[in-house]
Amino acid sequence: MTTTALPRTTTTTTPGTWAPAADGTAPGTLRVVGPEVPGSAEVLTDEALAFVAALHTRFLGRRNELLAARQERRQRYADGADPGFLPETAHVRADRTWRVAGAGPGLEDRRVEITGPTDRRMAVNALNSGAQVWLADLEDATSPTWRNVVGGQHSLLDAFRGRLDFTTAEGKEYRVGPTTPTVVMRPRGWHLAEKHLAYVDRAGQEVAACASLVDAGLYLFHNARLLVDAGRGPYLYLPKLEGHLEARLWNDVFVVAQQMLGLPHGTIRATVLIETLPAAFEMEEILWELRDHCAGLNAGRWDYLFSVIKTFRSRGRRYVLPDRSRLTMAVPFLRAYTELLVATCHRRGAHAIGGMSAFIPDRRDPAVTARALEQVRADKQREATAGYDGTWVAHPDLVPVARDVFDEVLGARPHQLHRLRDDVVVTARDLLDVASATGEVTDAGVRTNVSVALRYLASWLRGTGAAAIDHLMEDAATAEISRSQLWQWVHHEVVTAEGTPLTRASVERVLGEVLAELPRSTGDRYDDAADVLRQVALADAFPTFLTLCAYSQHLVERADGPGAGDRDPDGAATVAG
């Protein structure tokens, strides 16, 4: 099933009824402190920056307060408290009458969604993939270099105006075909800063901009009206939420943005990734807070697994998980989370979208491709049978197999909302049953985690946020699993099945061996990646996200010298993530 192409036009988007003050001032301003990169002139217009600055003026303080609350909550978990269903919101869960707004135009059928970064070549490939939806990812699949941040917005701006193309240095041309998926853009999470833009408040204080408001604000300003006029809409995937208050903040951002752009209330539709353990206990509350702007929830399985490890990382050996390869969606505590998501969504009229299988084909190796297709088919059959309305793939060659599976279950129906899954009963104990993941930590598992994390970080530092490694698609979420397991294993002095005590020294030896085996070239960034890996996997303290230090140390560029916009908003809260 396909959707019609957007009209091809070269006209610019008007910002609705909103415009900055006549004298060019605003309650706060955004100053570009990064260098000029391709697309800057079209993306970083005065009007667009004023719009994003207005969102900062209204919401930056609340964002910082919520990040501080995250830090407090994580400390409670480290001290022995467990996440749980909130007693103060029990009335929301008990009221069976309310429903969310649901899918917007062009988003009714989501049986196959392709995910990927927004550079021009990958954008063309995604738009030509034949999927129903393209998750245009400015988050985990994008390395947040300034060139990528601006370039991704520019790719989307051009795509919606029918002028997206790409030609390689060898002369290979990429063009968008006549039929394209509905686009759902994923901005960066609340915890991330955009240090190439500095927000200056009324008092003249300058702080790094909030990446979430930058990504969503620029996207909505440039494209929302055009998308509505084309019969679709401005749709977003919301990552890394840890609870309903963070969803409430997003909802308030949508309300204000729609007012500023002259759009009807409810025009924006969001799908929330349930990819943190705390959020799994607040699915209904998240839907409630976003109900006028909500299309559904997604099972962000890899970040969810990372969140579980992070939450219980220092709580004792019974929370230590085995090799990453053993952590499949058949593990009871992971299956409980995915089934609860379907039941919750369908009870409230929301789409339940499945996660991404990491297996990818290799066009040069038929045996690898056959194994990948077999693994992906089994994964998608599990999701379709469980009641999911659609699923993710990471490669165009996987679109047909995923579609076949969902076509078998859905037929002509666009979704499975009629399947209420009243048979699903999931308790807090089920979600917290980490010990249900059986298996051992092995020498091979340690080496795999070191190798994957190292190679992914090197790719990320070179500006590529989604990397094919050992026939798996790795992004920031899967790299987080690898490095957080290493930290937990060392912290708890785990001994592998082969009898190897895991210490900083033993992991460092493995790191040295992996580095020695890798083919080296100028600019490969492996040494920088090794330094980052030591910081996030072998230090005494556990950095909440591996990308925070890597971004600040390696990706931030300055047009006017160091220091401009360097300080994060409420720095301690931002680092807490």
Mean pLDDT of 302-330: 95
Closest CA relative to residue 166, chosen from 223, 219, 128: 128
- Are the CB atoms for 391 and 114 separated by under 8 Å? no
pLDDT band at 357 (very low <50, low <70, confident <90, very high): confident
pLDDT tens, position by position, 381-428: 999 999 999 999 999 999 999 999 999 999 999 999 999 999 999 999
pLDDT tens, position by position, 27-37: 589 999 999 99
What gap in Å lies between CA 290 and CA 248, rounded to an integer?
Answer: 7
> Is-catalytic flag, 475?
yes
For residue 508, the model assigns a pLDDT of 98
* β 294-299/269-274 pair status: parallel
Of the listed 137, 158, 379, 475, which one is catalytic? 475
Local structure of 173: helix, strand or coil: strand
Residue 282, φ and ψ in degrees, nearest 5 = -130, 30
Q: Which tokens sit at 280?
A: 């799994």
Write down the residue that tokens 């190798």 correspond to.
451
pLDDT tens, position by position, 456-501: 999 999 999 999 999 999 999 999 999 999 999 999 999 999 999 9
b/e per residue, 519-533, with b = 16+ CB within 10 A?
eeeeebbbebbbebb
Q: Which tokens sit at 131?
A: 């999927």
For residue 22, the model assigns a pLDDT of 45
Task: Assess whether pLDDT exceeds 90 at residue 79.
Answer: yes
DSSP string covering 257-310, please?
HHHHHTPPTT--EEEEEE-SHHHHTTHHHHHHHTGGGEEEEEE-HHHHHHHHHH
**Residue 247 backbone zone (phi > 0: left; psi -120 to 50: alpha; other: beta):** alpha
Task: Assess whether pLDDT exceeds 80 at residue 13.
Answer: no
Alpha helix ranges (H) inside 281-421? 283-289, 301-311, 332-347, 366-386, 399-410
Task: Assess whether pLDDT exceeds 60 at residue 168.
Answer: yes
Residue 245, φ and ψ in degrees, nearest 5 = -70, -30
- Kindly report the average pLDDT of the chain as a whole number: 92
Write down the residue that tokens 């020695």 correspond to.
516
- Are the CB atoms for 348 and 98 separated by under 8 Å? yes
Q: DSSP letter for 439, please.
A: -
Of the listed 186, 225, 421, 455, which one is catalytic? 186
